[in-house]
């Protein structure tokens, strides 16, 4: 069952009050970093709108509508997403949605749409959605979920009311994570949270995938590449096995951490092992080159839905492996 997380209380109260007052917007843009629970929030609010016996801004969880939704069979709940990881939302999917919204509500109440990630819509799909956002059917709510709203067309953004989900305060996120990892060492929750850049749900997902161990392997690979001991092509092939996007997200996070440590030497004081490992990377890589490399990684990450991931990752790792040599050649 989807839950409203502690750091989402203000957003929930806002929408619940608007629902009670009869002035709920017809289109919402839920945006913020990955791992902050936007999808959970959207699912919880969908349940509230569809529930027949909701009380105190909470769905009952027991009525036929709640049971249908939990089973994934409620005809008035519509989820639109890519058909594969990293794919796009196509115009045919939006056309099918529009046709469904033209039908009467199954229970005479709300029809609720969740589009995630909204920035995965191609241009044709986004244009096709515009009329629905401008003139929605009665008692219809469309929720678009996105990490970076700048990647959405301005025409889409302007037709939605925005609801931002920020990284929660560390203490709140840490408590939430520790409650879900009761058998883990206390320090692990902090390390997971740091690795996920403060995003609690991403930290939990990483723990469940044993991502800390995978990250240790990838960190060792970066060290080996920088020292010229490993072949970038072979490393790229290994990195792709779990997921095509995850390695680039990891690379971005580690370079950002390395920059942070160079600028603020006492960073990561509560993670001595990780701090020591970051310090072990070649010091001859200049800070300006790290910033330029970070920009390159970010650009690659933003274009992953359009590119073949293997040559992208291989190119990034080749560039990383050559950075210490570039500095040495310049000095010589």
HEC secondary structure over 166-214 = CCCCHHHHHHHHHHHCCCCCHHHHHHHHHHCCCCHHHHHHHHHCCHHHH
Question: Residue 105's domain is classified under what CATH number?
Answer: 3.40.50.300
Nearest Cα to Cα of residue 151 among 180, 126, 179: 126
Number of Cα atoms under 13 Å in the Cβ half of residue 133 = 22
Query: Domain range holding 153?
Result: 6-164
Query: Which region among 166-170, 241-245, 317-321, 328-332 has the lowest average model confidence (pLDDT)?
Result: 328-332
The yes-or-no verdict on residue 206 having pLDDT over 70 is: yes
DSSP state of 2: -
Residue 174 lies in a domain: no
Query: Residue 73: which pLDDT band, with cuts at 50, 70 and 90?
Result: very high
Q: Are 150 and 225 within one domain?
A: no
Share of the chain above pLDDT 70, in %: 95
CATH value at residue 220: 1.20.272
36 and 151 together in one domain: yes
Q: Write the CB contacts of 170 (distance below 8 Å, at least 6 apart in sequence).
A: 193, 198
Q: What does the mean pLDDT of the chain come to?
A: 90
DSSP assigned state of 165: -
Residue 145 belongs to a domain = yes
- Please, how many CA atoms are within 13 Å of residue 198, restricted to the half-sphere of its CB? 12
How far is 301 from 178, CA to CA, in rounded Å? 30
Considering 138, 164, 190, which residue would you say is the last residue of a domain?
Answer: 164
Largest CA distance in the chain: 77
pLDDT band at 274 (very low <50, low <70, confident <90, very high): confident
Both 25 and 158 in one domain: the answer is yes
Q: pLDDT digits over 276-331, tens only?
A: 888 888 777 889 999 999 999 999 987 876 678 899 999 999 999 998 866 443 44
User: Is there a domain that residue 187 lies in?
Assistant: no
**Alpha-carbon distance 53 to 100, whole Å?**
25
| 183, part of any domain | no
Residue 25 lies in a domain: yes
- Mean pLDDT of the region 208-215: 78
On whether both 120 and 269 belong to a single domain, the answer is no
Say if residue 148's pLDDT is above 60. Answer: yes
Which of 164, 185, 201 is at the close of a domain?
164
Q: Confidence band (pLDDT; 50, 70, 90) for 80?
A: very high
142 and 81 in one domain? yes
How much is the pLDDT for 13?
97
Cα–Cα separations (whole angstroms), residue 325 to 108, 236, 262, 278, 328: 68, 20, 19, 19, 5
Beta strands 161-164 and 77-80 are: unpaired
- The predicted-structure confidence for 1-27, as pLDDT tens digits, reads as follows 568 999 999 999 999 999 999 999 999
Mean local confidence (pLDDT), 80-88: 91
Same structural domain, 141 and 230: no
229 with 156, same domain? no
pLDDT at residue 132 tops 60: yes
Could you tell me if 114 and 231 lie in one domain?
A: no
> For residues 151 and 115, which has the higher predicted lDDT (pLDDT)?
115
Indicate whether 155 and 284 sit together in one domain. no
Count of domains forming the chain:
2
Average pLDDT over residues 224-245: 90
* Domain-embedded: residue 230: yes
CA distance 146 to 106: 28
Q: Do 135 and 278 fall within a single domain?
A: no
Q: Which of 139, 164, 189 is the last residue of a domain?
A: 164
Q: What is the pLDDT of residue 325?
A: 65
pLDDT of residue 193: 86
242 and 154 together in one domain? no
Provide the pLDDT for residue 167: 96
Question: Quick one: average pLDDT of 72-85?
Answer: 94
Are 22 and 152 part of one and the same domain?
Answer: yes
pLDDT at residue 90, as a whole number:
97
With respect to residue 314, please indicate whether it lies within any of the assigned structural domains.
Answer: yes
Q: Higher confidence at residue 119 or residue 181?
A: 119
- Give percent of the chain with pLDDT exceeding 90: 67
Claim: this prediction has a pTM higher than 0.85 = no
């Amino acid at each position: 069952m989807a839950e409203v997380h502690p750091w989402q209380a203000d957003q929930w109260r806002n929408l619940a009050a608007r629902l009670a007052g009869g002035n709920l917007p017809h289109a919402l843009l839920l945006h913020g970093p990955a791992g902050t629970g936007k999808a959970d929030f959207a699912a919880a609010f969908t349940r509230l709108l569809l529930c027949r016996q909701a009380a105190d801004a909470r769905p009952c969880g027991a009525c036929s509508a709640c049971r249908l939704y939990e089973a994934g069979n409620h005809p008035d709940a519509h989820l639109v997403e890519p058909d594969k990881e990293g794919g796009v939302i196509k115009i045919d999917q939006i056309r099918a949605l529009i046709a469904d919204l033209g039908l009467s509500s199954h229970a005479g109440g709300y029809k609720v749409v969740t589009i995630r990630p909204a920035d995965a819509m191609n241009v044709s799909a986004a244009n096709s959605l515009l009329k629905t956002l401008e003139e929605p059917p009665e008692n219809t709510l469309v929720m678009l979920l996105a990490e970076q709203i700048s990647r959405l067309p301005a025409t889409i953004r302007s037709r939605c009311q925005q609801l931002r989900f920020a990284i929660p305060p560390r203490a709140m996120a840490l408590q939430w994570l520790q409650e879900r990892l009761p058998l883990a060492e206390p320090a692990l929750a902090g390390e997971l949270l740091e690795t996920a850049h403060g995003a609690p749900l991403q930290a939990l997902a990483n723990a469940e995938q044993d991502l800390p161990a995978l990250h240790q392997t990838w960190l060792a690979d970066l060290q080996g590449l920088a020292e010229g001991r490993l072949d970038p092509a072979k490393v790229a092939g290994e990195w792709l096995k779990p997921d095509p996007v995850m390695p680039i997200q990891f690379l971005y996070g580690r370079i950002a951490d390395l920059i942070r440590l160079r600028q603020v030497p006492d960073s990561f004081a509560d993670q001595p092992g990780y701090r020591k490992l970051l310090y072990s990377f070649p010091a001859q890589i200049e800070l300006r080159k790290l910033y330029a490399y970070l920009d390159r990684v970010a650009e690659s990450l933003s274009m992953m839905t359009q590119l073949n991931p293997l040559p992208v990752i291989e190119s990034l790792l080749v560039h990383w492996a050559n950075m210490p040599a570039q500095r040495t050649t310049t000095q010589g």
